[in-house]
Amino acid sequence: MRNYTQFYIDGRWVDPVTPKTAEVINPATEEVSGEISLGSPADVDLAVAAARRAFTTYGESSVKERLDLLEAIQAEYVRREAELGEAIMVEMGAPKGLANGFHTLLGKGHLGTAIEVLKDFKFEEQRGVTLIRKEPIGVCGLITPWNWPMNQTCVKIFPALAAGCTMILKPPQLAPYSAQILAEILHDAGVPAGVFNMVQGQGSVIGAALSKHEDVDMISFTGSEPVGVQIQKDAADTVKRVGLELGGKSAWIVLDDASLAANVAGATAGMMGNSGQTCSAGSRLLVPASRLDEVRKVAAEAANGVTVGDPQTEVAMGPVVSKSQYNIIQQYIEKGLAEGAELISGGSGRPDGLDKGWYVRPTVFIGTNDMVIAREEIFGPVLVIIPYDDIDDAVRIANDSNFGLGGYVSGEDIETCRAVSRRMRTGAIWVNGGFDFHAPFGGYKRSGNGREWGEHGFHEYLEVKSVIGWN
């Protein structure tokens, strides 16, 4: 049992102003794995006051001082990386290979990237008679989701620290353990008191208090579109900056060539990674209509080959995060059947032999782009295959969405892949795979605004000042 009932405020672990706790459920067993405290606006007030005091000095710190701090954090992160992986496996059900692999690697990668960028970042630039300065925006409220807990937390904390900001983190209530360990890492690495603060609790309480707070200069939120909309409304009265990374219904276009079968299999298996709980997942697979019979067979085989089970074992997919999330996914699967989508793999209920835990069957439909299962973000292991007539039709279908977060193009002709990628209205596109910590990440349309990752992530935490007549 993990008991994390204190908050980290002003360099110390402190009790909540008003004691209130909540149980944390292990999604693989449906059993209580620990408890956390639920904060209140009074706890937020204390954390914001600490961050405001700390900003007067940390905001003036040198690049050298911030580099030394990030490198000290890096050493602590590596030392406790295995603990982070174990926490992620317990809190949100990621299989151990994924939890101790890509989950923790992402956090470490964002930290290393922040160090790389900070070494060469130009905080001042002279243009004619004017000096252009980039200065830290101030006190930041960071509100993070449960699906990739280290990725979404570290991609905010480390650029904010590098820029000279102070902050209050509101971790996800469903997956709070890894954030607790990360706070311990930051403390042990010597982050100055008040620079980093953490208050656990409900998003509707802590997130709202941060968004409305007159002494918070910026909110960075990753999560659902409805919550992002509410945060913008709450922040409007104080005209604070709001960065949003929201939902997605990303299209994966597979070209008609000799690699089609391999690309369909890879896209199908990839969709099931992290139990489909990835905002940029390629949940709409666009394939040539003329080869639908071949696609049907390949996709079904790939989905049926995804092993599901206890995350402490060598499986490809664990449970989804909660009973609520399980029920939502089941409703979408039933909706797909009611709409007349063709079910080629998976379906309702748990996989055979798994009677406990929030396990979902890897599910694949063949449908059309006007179906609810192709329009709304399901956030589970449910793939919708949509046939297209030609490349123009594929691009039209891909862009026919309220979202625009991720996109994928797979094919042997790189020039065609590049041409298709230029026409897709989405913030990040992967052409035949690839990965880059320096690539800006964020959405078009209802998938949000602003950009994270690499140098672009720094700009979220900086104000621009013109000093005219400097020279």
CA 146 from chain centre, in angstroms, equals 8
Residue 293 backbone dihedrals phi, psi, to 5 degrees: -60, -45
Torsion of CA 91, 177, 209, 235, to 10 degrees: -70
Give the span between the Cα atoms of 401 and 407, in whole angstroms: 12
Work out whether strand 448-449 and strand 241-245 pair parallel, antiparallel, or are unpaired: antiparallel
Which residues, other chains included, contact 333 with Cβ-Cβ below 8 Å and sequence gap of 6+? 346, 347, 348, 363, 382
CB atoms within 10 A of CB 127: 10
The closest alpha carbon to 228, from 40, 450, 460, 453, belongs to: 450
Chain-centre distance for alpha carbon 253: 23
Only one residue has tokens 């199908």, namely: 268
Q: Strand ranges (DSSP E) for 239-329?
A: 241-245, 251-254, 284-288
Question: How many Cβ atoms sit within 10 Å of the Cβ of residue 45?
Answer: 14
Residue tagged 């994928």 (tokens)? 408
Catalytic residue from among 245, 452, 455, 460: 245
Q: Reduce the DSSP state of residue 146 to 3 states and report it.
A: coil
Instruction: Show the tokens assigned to 305.
Output: 């080959």
d(CA 146, CA 91): 9
What residue spans of 189-304 are helical by DSSP H?
A: 208-212, 225-236, 260-272, 292-304
245 flagged as catalytic: yes
Cite the active site residues. 245
